[in-house]
A and B are shown apart, each in its own frame.
Chain A
Amino acid sequence: MANNVLEIKDLSIHYEMREGVVKALNGVDLALKEGASHGLVGETGAGKTTLAKGVMGLMPKPYGKIKSGQVLYDGQDLLQLNKQEMRRIRGQHISMIFQDPMTSLNPVMTVGDQIMESIRNHEKLSRRDAAKKAKEILELVGIPYVRAEEYPHQFSGGMKQRVVIAIALACNPRVLIADEPTTALDVTIQAQVLETIRDLRQKFHTSMLLITHDLGVIAQNCEYVSVIYAGEIVETGTVHDIFGRKLHPYTQGLFSSIPNINETVTRLIPINGLMPDPTALPEGCAFCERCKYAEERCSREHPSLYAMGGEENIHQVRCFRYEQNGEGR
Chain B
Amino acid sequence: MAKPRSAEQATKQRSLMQEAWLQFKSNRLAICGLIVIGLLLLISIATTVIDLADGGTLYKQLVTKQNLLEKLDGPSAAHILGCDEYGRDLFFRILWGTRYSLFAGVCTILAAVLIGGLFGAIAGYYGGKLDNVIMRVMDMMMTVPSLVLAMAIVAALGSSLVNLLIALATSQIPQFARIVRSSVMAVKGSEYVEAAKAVGASDALIIAKYIIPNALSPVIVQGTLGVATTILNVAGMSFLGLGIQPPAPEWGSILSSARVYMREAWHISVFPGLAIVICILSLNLLGDGLRDALDPKQKR
Which residues of A pack against B, CB within 8 Å?
56, 58, 62, 87-92, 95-96, 98, 100, 103-110, 117-118, 121-122, 149-151, 153-154, 164, 167-168, 170-171
A297 to B16, CA, bound (A): 62
In the complex, what's the smallest C-beta–C-beta distance from A19 to chain B, in angstroms? 20
A-B contacts besides A106-B214, A151-B14, 13 pairs, CB < 8 Å? A58-B197, A87-B201, A90-B199, A98-B195, A103-B191, A106-B209, A109-B209, A109-B213, A117-B209, A121-B200, A121-B205, A154-B12, A167-B199
Query: Contacts A107-B214, A151-B16: A121 and B202 contacting too (C-beta < 8 A)?
Result: yes
Contact B200 A91 (CB under 8 A): yes
CB pair A58 B194 closer than 8 Å: yes
Instruction: Decide yes or no whether B67 CB sits under 8 A from chain A.
Output: no
Given A56-B198, A117-B205, A105-B192 contact (CB < 8 Å): yes
Q: Decide if B195 touches A164 in the complex (CB within 8 Å).
A: yes
Establish whether residues B195 and A167, one from each chain, have CB atoms under 8 Å apart when the complex forms: yes
Chain A, Cβ-Cβ closest to B205: A117
- Judged by a CB distance under 8 angstroms, whether B15 is at the interface is yes
A95 lies within 8 A of B191 (CB): no
A231 to chain B, nearest CB (A): 21
Least CB distance, A18 to chain B, in whole angstroms: 15
Contact of A90 among B128, B192, B200 (CB under 8 A): B200
Decide if B26 is an interface residue (CB 8 Å cutoff). no
In the docked arrangement, what's the CA distance between A275 and B252, Å?
69
Question: In the complex, are the beta carbons of A107 and B16 less than 8 A apart?
Answer: yes
B196 at the interface (CB under 8 A from A): yes
Instruction: Known contacts A103-B190, A106-B192; decide if A168 and B199 are in contact (CB<8 Å).
Output: yes
B24 to chain A, nearest CB (A): 17
User: What is the CA–CA distance of A109 and B12 in the complex, to the nearest angstrom?
Assistant: 15
Complex: A107 Cα to B194 Cα, angstroms: 14
Determine the chain A residues whose CB is within 8 A of the CB of B195 once the complex forms.
96, 98, 104-105, 164, 167
Decide yes or no whether B76 CB sits under 8 A from chain A. no
Docked CA distance A121–B195 (Å): 13
Alpha-carbon distance A94/B188, docked complex (angstroms): 22
A-B contact pairs, 23 of them (CB 8 A): A58-B197, A87-B202, A90-B198, A96-B195, A98-B194, A98-B198, A100-B191, A103-B192, A104-B191, A104-B195, A106-B209, A108-B213, A109-B210, A117-B196, A117-B201, A118-B200, A121-B199, A150-B12, A151-B14, A151-B16, A167-B195, A170-B199, A171-B199
Residue in A107, A121, A150 whose CB lies within 8 Å of B13: A150
**Complex interface: chain A residues within 8 A of B190 (CB):** 103
Chain A residues near B191 (CB, 8 Å)? Answer: 98, 100, 103-104
Is A151 a contact partner of B200 (Cβ separation < 8 A)? no
Hey, which chain A residues are within 8 Å of B192, CB to CB? 103-107
The CA-CA distance from A92 to B201 in the complex, in Å, is 11
Cα distance A104–B201 in the bound complex, in angstroms: 14
Residue picked from A88, A95, A117, A171, most chain B C-beta under 10 Å: A117
Instruction: Find chain A residues with CB under 8 A from B200 CB.
Output: 87-92, 118, 121-122
The answer for the CA separation of A105 and B128 in the assembled complex, in Å, is 27
Q: How far is the CA of A88 from the CA of B199 in the complex (A)?
A: 9
A108 touches B13 (CB 8 A): no
- Asked whether A91 lies within 8 Å of B16 as measured between CB atoms, the reply is no
List residues 176-232 of chain B with CB under 8 A from any CB of chain A.
190-192, 194-202, 205, 209-210, 213-214
A-side contacts of B194, CB under 8 Å: 58, 98, 104
Task: Select the residue from B198, B199, B205, B209 with max chain A CB neighbours within 10 A.
Answer: B199
The closest CB in chain B to the CB of A87 belongs to B200
CA of A121 to CA of B213 in the docked complex: distance in angstroms?
A: 19
B217: nearest chain-A partner, CB-CB:
A108
Contact of A151 with B15 in the complex, beta carbons under 8 Å: yes
The 3 A-B pairs with the shortest beta carbon distances in the complex, nearest first, are A91-B200, A91-B199, A90-B200
Question: B296 — which chain A residues lie within 8 A by C-beta?
Answer: 107, 153
Residues of B within 8 A of A100 (CB): 191
B197 contact set on A, CB distance < 8 A: 58, 90
B196 to A106, Cβ gap below 8 A?
yes
